[in-house]
Amino acid sequence: SDATCTEGGSGDAVVYCTVCKAELSRETTQVPALGHTEGEAVEENRVEADCVNEGSYDTVVYCTVCDAELSRETTTIAALGHTEGEAVEENRVEADCVNEGSYDTVVYCTVCDAELSRETTTIAALGHTEGEAVEENRVEADCVNEGSYDTVVYCTVCDAELSRVTTTIAALGHTEGEAVEENRVEATCTEKGSYDTVVYCTVCDAELSRVTTTIDALGHDYAAVVTDPTCTEAGFTTYTCSVCGDSYVADEVAALGHTEGEWVEDTTVRGQWNLPCSVCGEILKTEIRLVPADGIKLDQDNVEVFYVRKAPAFTLTETVSPEDLEKLEYDVIWTSSNEKVVTVDEDGNVTTHKLGCATITATLVDAEGNVIDTAECNVKVKYTWWQWLIWFFLIGCAWYFV
């Protein structure tokens, strides 16, 4: 290893076998340290002096090989001291009427602006200057209250109040106006009325006097209206006051009762007759009377039926119009166009007698027997297959024996 400025170095001399490279010998040689080599001195850490503070700087020598610091010497620089500038005025407060004023005379250093001296000068107070007297707070006197005003002197410079004198104004007293009427309440038929006569002050409107006058009640003025009795309501006389509207009823007359008129047919309900009152028209009695029928129809128009011996084969049912009435004045006559084939009884029961066709007619007649309407049903009587067998058998026997 090489020697440095502060540390020694060393080196080994070694012999190796040229064949196998084995180390045959080693000898170490020591090399002494070289020592520093001084460079030129340099200045460091310079701080300039000001008016009150010293300055300084360092003179330093370094090794030119390893840069180690070999020496350092610090040199002090003396403070420079202040440089006075021209005096200046500061903090001026002007004097007023009652307060002193003042100002400062100050000297600063022209280099560092440090304050070197300060002297305060006092300015004497100026005193007040009286202005002309003025009037304030005037309150005019009225009818019952005194008035007043202030005479005031102010300083023309600071407006301070220097003096104030209050003067009183005597009350004026009331001035009566003409009497007026108030609160008039008119008398009614049963209640008294009244009004007030009042005098007011023409200046302040205060009430100076009030006299109440009473008006006598008027009494009622009744007019009579007669209500005649009706069939159901009593008659009476109503007495009404033309002034206040008060009324009462007297002189009652009993109800007259109904008077029966003539029976009249109702035009809205068919078959109904009404007995009205001949005076008021109220319906007193109603009754349903017989109404002539005006039409008939059967429940069947065409019927095919098998021959049935003796017992009715079927029944026809008639419908007579109008259908909505309970009492109808009519009769129904049943007839057959061929009674050898079928017959019909008074209830519409149809009985078959033999093979063939016939027409059943229901005739609607009124109480006098006049025909109103008719309805028909066509009937065809047929044999069943076994009835045809019997018939052919009987015909065959008759032919055989003949």
pLDDT of residue 401: 59
Query: What confidence tens digit (pLDDT) does each residue in 337-393 have?
Result: 999 999 999 999 999 988 899 999 999 887 778 888 899 999 999 877 766 676 666
Q: Residues 345, 348, 349, 350: what is their CA dihedral angle, to the nearest 10 degrees?
A: 90
What's residue 256's pLDDT?
84
In this prediction, residues 77-89 reach a mean pLDDT of 91
CA angle (273 as vertex; 271, 279 as ends), nearest 5: 160
| Model pLDDT, residue 325 | 52
pLDDT higher than 80, residue 396: no
In tens, the pLDDT along 134-181 reads 999 999 999 999 999 999 999 999 899 999 999 999 999 999 999 999
By the 8 A CB rule, do 341 and 352 touch? yes
Instruction: Report the 10 Å Cβ neighbour count for 387.
Output: 14
Mean pLDDT of the chain: 87
For the segment 234-290, what is each residue's pLDDT rounded down to a tens digit?
A: 889 999 988 888 888 888 988 888 888 888 887 887 777 888 888 888 888 888 766
User: In sequence order, what are the residues at sequence separation of 6 or more whose Cβ sits closer than 8 angstroms to the Cβ of residue 39?
Assistant: 61, 62, 63, 64
For the cut 60, the answer to whether the pLDDT of residue 400 exceeds it is: no
| DSSP 8-state class, residue 277 | B
In contact, 136 and 167? CB cutoff 8 Å: no
**What is the pLDDT, as a whole number, of residue 344?**
94
Burial label for 90, CB within 10 Å (0-12, 13-18, 19+), is exposed
Higher pLDDT, 322 or 249: 249
* Lowest model confidence (mean pLDDT) among 91-95, 115-119, 310-314, 383-387: 383-387
Residues 6+ apart with CB under 8 A from 304: 379, 380, 382
pLDDT score at 76: 92
pLDDT of 395 over the 80 cut: no
Contact 343, 309 (CB under 8 A): no
Please give the residue that has the higher pLDDT: either 312 or 214. Answer: 214
Residue-level pLDDT at 25? 84
Please give the model's pTM, rounded to 2 decimal places: 0.31
Residue 299, classed as helix, strand or coil, is coil
The per-residue pLDDT for 327 is 56
Q: What is the pLDDT of residue 368?
A: 77
3-state helix, strand, coil in the chain (%, to 5): 5, 50, 45
| pLDDT for 305 beyond 80 | yes
User: Of the ranges 25-34, 300-309, 312-321, which one carries the lowest mean pLDDT score?
Assistant: 25-34
Work out the number of other CB atoms within 10 angstroms of the CB of residue 153: 17
Residue 231 vs residues 237, 251, 257, 258, 276: alpha-carbon distances, Å: 17, 18, 4, 5, 12
Q: What is the mean pLDDT of residues 196-223?
A: 92
pLDDT band at 211 (very low <50, low <70, confident <90, very high): very high
Of residues 35 and 75, more confidently modeled: 75
DSSP letter at 365 equals: E
Report the C-alpha gap between 341 and 343 in whole angstroms: 7
Inform me whether the pLDDT recorded for 326 exceeds 70: no
N-to-C CA span, the chain: 182
Give the model's confidence band at 19: pLDDT under 50 very low, under 70 low, under 90 confident, else very high: confident
Quick one: what percent of the chain has pLDDT higher than 90? 45
What integer pLDDT is reported at residue 33 of this predicted model?
81
